[in-house]
Amino acid sequence: MTDSQSSVLDRTAERLAAATPVPLARKVRGLSDKGLAWLFITPTMLLLLAINIFPLIWAIYLSFTNYRANRPNEIVKNVGLSNYQRILGDQDIWIAMQATAHFVFWTIALQTLIGFTLAYLIDRKFRGHAFWTTVILVPMMLSPAVVGNFWRFLYQPQIGLFAYAVSFFTGISPTEIEMLSNVHLAPWAIIIVDTWMWTPYVMLICLAGLRSIPDYIYEAAEVDRASHWRQLWSITLPMALPFIMLAVLFRGIENFKMFDMVNLLTGGGPGSTTEVASITLKREAFEKWRTGYSSAFAIILFVAVFGLANIYVKVLNRVKNR
Amino acid sequence: MAEVRLSRLSKSFGAAAAVSGLDLTIADGEFVVLLGPTGAGKTTTLRLIAGLERPDAGSVTIGGEEVTARSPAERDVAFVFQQYSLYPHLSVYDNLAFPLRSPARRLPAAEVDARVREIAGLVRIDHKLDSRSTRLSGGEMQRVAIGRALVRKPSIFLMDEPLSSLDAKLRADLRLELKRIQSDVGSTLLYVTHDQIEAMTMADRIGILSGGELVQLGTPRDIYTSPANLHVAARLGNPQINLVEPGLIPCQSVPRGTRTIGARTEHVEVEKAAAGAAANARIDWIEHLGDQNHLHIAVDGRRITLLADPYSGFKAGDAVAIRLREPLFFGADDRRISHG
């Protein structure tokens, strides 16, 4: 830098310093970079602490008590681990966990299979593929409450389109197709709706994975005489696998705590056949008002999801770094 | 091993013609380099031969068989791409074995193994067979890519600027290796580049492409000493050929119709001005490249660039006498006019 240049810079700095109001300048000058960073982060941190961390700690505390939210004046007793012991021995809880596992497994299996297939087809870039992508994405953009409500209508045995369509193809009388009130059909009814709604999401992630595979890899494979099947198995699937696994993770976590849609469609019924964990939790907390007990259950669910997700992310990273 | 024959081959992308009416025959076992600037149609020509593109018109014949309508898999060609087109989730070994494990081949595992190890030795990657292909350096990746092309023993090899993404030293090494491998295997090889050194050092014959057309085809020596036109002359030679109008620099005999004279270093005699030789030019400045110098010489307001020995003793500002010695003459249509 020449002398004239540096003197220009000096003068500019001086002018800037003069133009800044003295009190502000003094305050800002007093702050280090680190101090400034804390200044910006603190409000968000406080908000997060208030609405996320505090309730979590409070729930952990409650899980060791016999507190009931509908009897605020009763003396709260510390009951130690007895809430946890009762949950792990509770038959109903295990039935709920089984229902959840059934729901999570089948929704993930179907959504991954259909989602990947759709992504694979869309990725062929046929005429109008942009239009069809948008059409496929519509269910995902709806509110779960809306979806729950209109599927209730679709599932109506007398007037519902679903029952009508099934009877049209199978010849079974539509009044016998009671998707939401039949013990055997109800678990599948919620799986169908969830799949209908969230397959597009899985498709979108898979599509991102497929688009990340460069064309020349396929061209090299074609010159190397790899059939389309072999290209799918030895190029497309392995290279898109991290994305597919990510979609499975998102859907798994989401469906493990699925509440809104199931609550609207079946409310856990008939009986408790579709009573997934979150519905049980709601019943324990806000129908039976066993706040301490349901807090303990919530903590168990949280630890389970958190632990499983962590293991899964480790595996995912290993797959990604191959 | 096979002969490749392209006849009247044309391909356009939208309104832009990438290749138009290309005729080219590559003899069995020949190393042909297609040289041309970006957009000249070199890559498209290769892709047409490989079957990765379908021509709009014309035909491709490999080993006497018309293959224009066939898919890449049915053509028995190997292609090395400019990018390292390795299968990233596979090891070096599996990358090399990939073409051999095609269900269409049904090679026994022992033979696949033997072939992979033989080729790995040939491209000098045998110490890294178990590495993930993504863990290799650029040069190693491209060696694997070349190995994957070799392993199948196809009838022809097509290489699309395989060395362009490597650094200068690696490029020089691999250039030698490629030439060695090609002469070992004795295969037909069509190689695309815009690097004249690659073309000059490796090719049996060079094809100069421009605007989708083959401008000249010949041995490197031919192309260099008797370029068909100004375009070809300008593609080869470093520093670039000096183009001057007749009369600017003294020359013994200029054929009729000459509009431009092409003068490379060897066509210009430079002498320090002395009593015997009157100065007609001046050395403007000298670029020191290390092993040699570039002399920038001002002649009548024009500037020409010549190569010189670093010990030639010229200094910037020296007055010199220059004259032409059997330069290249080009007519009004830019074609070369042969002397006499």
pLDDT single digits (tens) A163-189: 888 888 888 877 778 888 888 889 999
Query: Do A252 and A110 sit in the same domain of this protein?
Result: yes
CB within 8 Å: B72 and A220:
no
Phi, psi at B215, each rounded to 5°:
-85, -40
CB pair distance less than 8 Å for B89 and A219 = no
Which residues of chain B have a CB within 8 Å of the CB of A230? 102-103
Q: What is the residue type of A177?
A: I
What 8-state DSSP symbol labels residue B128? Answer: G
Domain holding A151, by residue range, is 84-320
Block residue for tokens 């066939």: B70
A15 and A156 together in one domain: no
CB burial readout B156-182, b (16+ within 10 A) else e: bbbbbbbbeebeeebbeebbebbbebb
User: Measuring CA to CA, which residue among A295, A298, A292, A300 is closest to residue A66?
Assistant: A292
Task: Show the DSSP H helices in chain A as ranges.
Answer: 3-19, 22-30, 33-48, 54-62, 82-89, 91-122, 129-141, 144-155, 161-170, 186-211, 215-223, 228-231, 237-256, 260-265, 277-286, 291-320
User: pLDDT of A251-273, one tens digit each?
Assistant: 999 999 888 888 888 888 788 88
Rounded to a whole number of angstroms, the CA Rg of chain B reads: 24
Residues A178 and A105 in one domain: yes
Q: Are residues A191 and A272 in the same domain?
A: yes
Q: Within a 10 A sphere around the Cβ of B327, how many other Cβ atoms?
A: 22
CB contact under 8 A, A235 and B79: no
Domain at B242-337: CATH code: 2.40.50.140
Give residues 223 to 252 of A whose Cβ lies within 8 Å of B.
Answer: 223-227, 230, 234-235, 238-239
- Looking up residue A268, the CATH number of its domain turns out to be 1.10.3720.10
Cα distance between residue A105 and residue B186, in whole Å: 57
My answer on whether A152 and A6 are in the same domain is no
Neighboring chain A residues of B79 at a CB cutoff of 8 Å: 219-220, 223
Query: Which residue of A219, A225, A238 is in closest CB contact with B89?
Result: A238
- Pick from B240, B192, B246, B274: nearest CA to B18: B192
Q: Do residues A115 and A181 share a domain? A: yes
String of b and e for A28-66 (b: at least 16 CB within 10 Å)? eeeeeeeeeeeeeeeeeeeeeeeeeeeeeeebeebbbbb
In a domain, A255, yes or no: yes
Q: Select from B80, B86, B89, B190 the residue whose CB has the most chain A CBs within 10 Å, as the one to mutate to test that interface.
A: B89
Instruction: Place domain B4-235 in its CATH homologous superfamily.
Output: P-loop containing nucleotide triphosphate hydrolases (3.40.50.300)
pLDDT tens-place values along chain B, 340 residues long: 688 999 899 999 888 888 988 899 999 989 999 998 888 889 999 999 999 999 999 999 998 888 888 888 888 889 998 888 888 888 999 999 998 887 777 788 888 999 999 888 888 888 888 888 888 888 888 889 988 988 888 888 999 998 887 788 878 888 888 888 888 888 899 999 988 888 988 999 999 998 888 999 999 999 999 998 888 898 888 888 998 888 888 888 888 888 899 989 888 888 887 766 678 888 888 998 888 889 999 988 888 899 888 888 888 888 888 888 888 999 888 888 876 4
Whether residues A195 and A114 fall in one domain: yes
The residue with tokens 């007895």 is: A82
Judge: A224–B83 Cβ closer than 8 Å, yes or no.
no
Amino acid in the structure at residue B156: I
Going through chain B in order, the beta strands assigned E by DSSP cover 4-13, 16-26, 31-35, 57-62, 65-66, 77-80, 156-160, 188-193, 205-210, 213-218, 242-244, 260-263, 268-272, 281-288, 293-299, 302-308, 319-324, 328-330, 336-337
Question: In this structure, is the dihedral angle defined by the CA atoms of residues A42, A44, A47 and A48, taken in order, positive or negative?
Answer: negative
Q: Which of A224, A228, A237 to mutate to test the interface with B (most CBs of B within 10 A)?
A: A224
Structurally, chain A folds into a number of domains equal to 2
The yes/no answer to whether this complex scores an ipTM above 0.95 is no
CB contact under 8 A, A225 and B87: no
Torsions phi, psi for B328 (to 5 deg):
-95, 140
